[in-house]
Structure 1
Amino acid sequence: MDSIYYRAIQRPAQLRSAYPFVQFGQPFSGPEFGMVKTFQVYLGAHGHNSSRSASSNSSCSNSSEDDRTYSCVHCRAHLARHQDLISKSFQGSQGRAYLFEMVVNVSCGKPEERLLLTGLHSVADIYCDCCHTVLGWKYEQAYETSQKYKEGKYIIELAHLIKDNGWDLSWVELDQRRPY
């Protein structure tokens, strides 16, 4: 029987502690396949502890905040948890974007220097591991001291995001109508 290997990008210890149920880089025994299969990380309520405390939201009555995730609009691969959302007030090349502390199921391109709205940054494009769509970028280095908080964080453009798992429909509709 061939082994199927779980393919994952080298992740910081922070990601491993946030998702202890994921066996990064470990072989997976399965039926015989003629190829190596890639598995995605699935986010949701799997008994993991978040580094951020989940605040109760009265408008989200169907599920806890831990269940709410953001997925790729093209292939529905999980990308980020709601607790990892830092800011909704960013601008991407295709419109509005969100800043996340941590993301999964993405690959990084080569870092390059770009002059963004907030100054010069070293960024690397991020791609969905499943459909290979460019989703946004990762801030590798910020050259201005006021922008240092972005280093190691991820931008995903709203054109590539969909809310998944546990979002109360009325709350989603309100969120989409809100002027930004």
Structure 2
Amino acid sequence: MGRVFIVDLEGKVYSCIHCKTNLTKDQDIMSKSFKIRGGQAYLFREVVNVSTGNKEDRMMITGLHTVTDIFCVGCGLNVGWKYVSQTFLYQKYKEGKSVLELYKIVGPHDSNDLVCQQVSQLMIQ
């Protein structure tokens, strides 16, 4: 494996909660309505500075999806997952998009999300 180059982002940025490595920008949010076991999550068009795990089929609220977990390249924290392929046509818009779990990232969340983020920081410590 070669050297990892970190991409620095500008503007309103979301970063890894542990090492503060930039992951994505506010303008790349596609949806804020994702719910996970740990709380809330956002769907993003593009995410940088992550590595991917193995593909697997995972049953989710919206059905069976082929996904891969994504990990921060700075510290290795599992920050969410990326959709690889979809079975249902109405879910195809998710292919190639990534979900980041809010309790694993820091950034310009809405004011309602700040409480969730603060509670999540306590959970992860």
Structure 2 length-normalised TM: 0.84
* 123 and 173 in structure 1: CA distance in 2 versus 1, 3 angstrom threshold: same
Structure with greater proportional strand content = 2
Helix, strand or coil for the counterpart of 2:54?
coil
Q: Following the alignment from structure 1 to structure 2, what is the Cα–Cα distance between the partners of residues 160 and 96? A: 10
**How far has the Cα of 1:172 moved from its partner?**
5.1
Structure with greater proportional helix content = 2
Kindly report the root-mean-square deviation, in angstroms, between the aligned alpha carbons of the 2 structures: 2.0
**Which residue is 1:176 aligned to?**
114
**1:12-44 superposed Cα distances (whole Å, 9 cap, x missing partner):** xxxxxxxxxxxxxxxxxxxxxxxx5x3311000
Q: Which moved more, 1:124-133 or 1:93-102?
A: 93-102
The gaps in structure 2 that reach 5 residues or longer are 117-125
Match status 1:40 vs 2:36:
no
Tell which has more relative contact order, 1 or 2 (C-alpha 8 A, sep 6+).
Answer: 2
Which residue of 12, 17, 23 maps to 1:79?
Answer: 23
1:1-180 alignment, distance < 5 Å: 38-44=4-10, 67-163=11-107, 173=111, 175-176=113-114
The gaps in structure 1 that reach 5 residues or longer are 1-6, 8-35, 45-66
Q: Following the alignment from structure 1 to structure 2, what is the Cα–Cα distance between the partners of residues 72 and 137? A: 14
Instruction: Answer whether contact 1:43 1:80 (CA < 8 A) is retained.
Output: yes
The runs of 4+ residues in structure 1 deviating greater than 6 Å are none
Q: Following the alignment from structure 1 to structure 2, what is the Cα–Cα distance between the partners of residues 139 and 162? A: 22
Helix, strand or coil for the counterpart of 1:111?
strand
